Amino acid sequence: MNDQAFDALKTYEWGVDPKTLEPITAAVVASHGDASARKQLEKRLTEALGSDVPRAAKDYVCRQLRSIGTAAAVPALAKLLADEELSHMGRYALERIPAPEAGAALREALPKVDGELKIGMISSLGVRGEPASVEPLGKLAGDAEDAVAVAAARALGRIATPAAGRALTAAKVRPATRAAIADALLACAESLMAAGDKAAAKAVYQRLGKEKASEPVREAAELGVKACGG
């Protein structure tokens, strides 16, 4: 472990030669397959994130935790989610940490933020694609704020499970959200078809055919129903 590089991290600012942190980056790469080394690195990076290091240093730490973070790093990253300046980097790391605690942290923070932070968190939940996110996203697909509703619909389209399809089907459609919900339903149907669940896919395609969707979406729905044997 390069103590000098971690000392440099304490005062690292934008414009400072990034080479000062290269030993940490190299150690992260070298830790692949070495659980003990990776655990030690994660501990030091998480401790740095929880300290008063500059924003640039926290940005760097989040990038490294995106690669090696586990459930142990989640509490420190979760503290960033309501921060206007650091929320996006906290999400950036949490999106890729495979531990279920990472998704739970995003869902817990979701009702505590508004505007762009909420939209960003919704997007991150879509990236993670966890079934547990369907219920809160389904509620937001009918949110009074159009941007939030659209983001939730798109996230459900990425999750693309039967439950996500049902949540989209139940969402109240408004002119501002119609296209996003239709596209998300189409994505769900295509994913279900690819997974071999023709019955669920057909139900979604049929719903699309009854909506005031665009002509391309209706045509895709018709073709989908036929492909499902309907």
* Tens of pLDDT, residues 140-183: 999 999 999 999 999 999 999 989 999 998 998 888 999 999 99
Residue 141 corresponds to which tokens in the numbers above?
A: 């697909």
Spatial distance between the Cα atoms of 41 and 26, rounded to a whole number of angstroms? 11
Q: Give me the percent of the chain exceeding a pLDDT of 70.
A: 99
**Could you tell me the mean pLDDT of each successive run of 10 residues in the chain, 230 residues long?**
88 92 95 94 96 96 97 98 96 97 98 96 97 97 96 96 91 90 92 88 84 79 85
Burial group, residue 16, by CB count within 10 angstroms (0-12, 13-18, 19+) = middle
Spatial distance between the Cα atoms of 129 and 1, rounded to a whole number of angstroms? 35
Write out the CATH class of domain 114-230: mainly alpha
Query: What distances in angstroms separate CA 100 from CA 72, 95, 96, one per listed residue?
Result: 11, 11, 11
- pLDDT tens-place string over residues 107-119: 999 999 999 999 9
Q: Answer whether 59's CB lies under 8 Å from 87's CB.
A: no
Query: What distances in angstroms separate CA 108 from CA 52, 74, 210, one per listed residue?
Result: 24, 12, 35
* Confidence (pLDDT) at 81: 97
* Confidence (pLDDT) at 230: 65
pTM given for the model: 0.91
Q: CB neighbours of 189 closer than 8 A, spacing ≥ 6?
A: 165, 201, 204, 205, 208, 221, 224
